[in-house]
Chains A and B, each alone.
Chain A
Amino acid sequence: MNPYKILGLSAEATAKEIIAAATKSLREKKYSAREIAEARQQLMNPELRPLLDFICFVDLEPLLTSSRLATEPLGSDDLKLLEIFV
């Protein structure tokens, strides 16, 4: 499970924010107390935190833009009715 998602935090979250988010998350009861405690513990671990930063975040921007080739826009005006069906 992604600890940042469990606690609803961004990669820049400070220790204070982590504690506050864990309290809020416990109140919301969206995740179990164990999951929230684990997420808090993981994010508060200074050795694990940089690894989690890498594992839990991806820059999605390259996927959102299409690699479509720039072509002249097509239209349907020049479509001609075919007389091939009877």
Chain B
Amino acid sequence: MRQHTCFASLQWLFKKRRAAQVEADCQRLLEAAEQAEATNDHLRAAGLLEQLQTVRPDSKRLRRLAYCRLRAGQWQEAVEAYTVADCFSPIDCYHAGFAAAKVGRFADSLRFWQRIDSAHPDFLAQKERVCQLLLQELYHHLDEQPIEREEEVRQLVKEFSLDALPSGKELLAHCNHLRLARLWQEDQVEELMAMADQNDLRYATVLEIQAKATCQFLLGDRTAVSAPLLRQFIDSWLSALFHPKISQEAGEQRQALLDFGENLLRRHSTRLHEGPQLIQEWEENLALLNRLAQLPAVQEQALPICTPTLALRTGLSDQLCTLIRERRDDFSNSKEWIETGAAYAVAEALLLVRSTMYETALKELVSLEEQRDDPFLAYGAAQVRTACGLEALRHGRCREAEEILVGGEPQAVWSVELEKQLLTVLAQENGQETPCLAACLSILSLLPKSSPPEEIARALCIALTKLAVRLHNSKKARPQLLAAAMQKAVALNPDDEFARMMLEEVSIAFELAELHEAIDQGWLSKAARIAAASRYEQVVEQFFGAAQQVAVQLEQGDYPDTEAAILILEDLLRSVTRVDTSHQMIGEIQRSLDDLRLKQEMA
């Protein structure tokens, strides 16, 4: 027992002695390392610290070791040491990132530096330099394995916001192209559709992929296809088939492909309430592109042309507007020239209208109408104004509609179109409220006089007359309004017998209404002026009927005194004489007047 206790004490003593020895060794190593570091012998210091770390690991000392490795130019070992040390202080992070950059681990370098919150210009410059180095490396990866490494490269570009640098932006664009190529190769049409908004359609191949992917998508068994998707198809399909490179590829099949696209659109449009509008958009865009494609400048220089919406998206609007502006003589007439130019000049506002964002479109009008001297902008603004006004009208906001529709600068070229559109709205919505019809008539009567083509004028006249009849029968519209509308109708087609009859009827009603108002107010001279100016017997008869009534009242002694009666009779005599100098009433009034004057003298 005593022997065992003695042995245990001895063991404890050895342990203690060994620990003391280790402590002494460590202290010696540490002092030697510090001394080496003080003399800038970082390589030796690193070796000593490494030995020390093996004996007694310590995280603080590990960072010191990493620093010595760095100062000794042992970049790889420094990065490893910093990675294990898990450093957080700015200086450690900077050193770790620096070492990583030195061994070409640029992404790791930037990851370390992302932890540093510093705007020091030298640091920012160095960081940008490392970004450039990383970009160079990423470009190299894509050159070697474009499709395979695209996703990894894209993630790195995003992680370090490399797209803020010009070459990074280019690289991201290249990644987008590669992703498109991969999705196309893999036949992932739905994914291609999902990323349609991000595509840079200035590139012919990108446009081609988008057009063909949308077409393939529509060719599938789709039960629900949205209007925006069909608009995307219209823009990409038409623009692709009018692109010089792609249309060349289509060759002889180009027209068949255009017809194929139209049939596909028609098939899907039937399921949507925007269907007719979409067909109209197809036709309008096709007409625009056909006009542009026939311009000698476009043919000679093989210029890429596209739909106005696509031009807006790809930043080609100004270029195309300039082309159209400079080629006025190459268009068959000035209306076509203005229409084409306006479609590109106000594409954004028209797009808002198509997307039923009328309020935003109206706000756009303010800036558009500031440039009234530009015929494209003026015409386009009138188109936008009309669309917004008609929308207000459709929703029964008649006053607002009137303000919008007659509020803009009068556009002689556009007023015919506006008239047509107003009448289309009226024809479509037979069940609408009378105030709306009245608002329509009011707008039509306020539009500047225009000379539309004969057949349009005839149609307009018929539509206006029908509308006036409806309002006249309902007795809800003001006679003045009806008369103005019918005057316009007859001006449009003076040979329309029914319109002329209707004009006469509403004009009589209007004059009678004015006459009755004057008589009710006791304004005989005004009533006489209306009757004298009138071409209608009914108006004159009504005037004399009212005058007769006044005369009878006076004869019956219905007057306050003789003087007042004389004044009334004199007024009556003047009024009647003004309308008809030979009317029998003149004699009767004259006699009554003489009697009264005699009575006054005797009194």
Contact = CB atoms under 8 A, between A and B. Distances in A.
A82 B257 contact: no
Contacts of A86: 91
B215 A55 contact: yes
A63 B187 contact: no
B558 to A, nearest CB: 93
Interface in A18-72: 50-51, 54-56, 58-60, 62-64, 66-69
Contacts of B126: 79, 82
A86 to B, nearest CB: 6
A75 B177 CA distance: 28
Given A63-B205, A68-B139, A84-B123, A56 B133 contact: no
On chain A, which size bracket covers the interface?
A: 20 to 34
B184 interface: yes
For the residues of B in contact with A, the DSSP-based class is helix
B98 interface: yes
A60 B179 CA distance: 11
B203 A84 contact: no
A54 B101 contact: no
Nearest to A48: B260
A85 B253 contact: no
Contacts of A76: 101-102, 104, 106, 130, 133
Given A51-B257, A67-B170, A68-B139, A79 B216 contact: no
Nearest to A80: B126
Contacts of B95: 81
B185 A66 contact: no
Contacts of A64: 146-147, 177-178, 181
Contacts of A51: 253, 256-257, 260
Given A66-B171, A82-B122, 8 more contacts: A1-B216, A54-B249, A64-B146, A66-B174, A79-B130, A81-B98, A82-B126, A85-B116
Interface of A: 1-2, 5, 50-51, 54-56, 58-60, 62-64, 66-69, 73-76, 79, 81-82, 84-86
Interface of B: 70, 90-91, 94-95, 98, 101-102, 104, 106, 116, 118, 120, 122-123, 126, 129-130, 132-133, 136, 139, 142-143, 146-147, 167, 170-171, 174, 177-178, 180-181, 184-185, 187, 189, 203-206, 208-209, 212, 215-216, 219-220, 249-250, 253, 256-257, 260
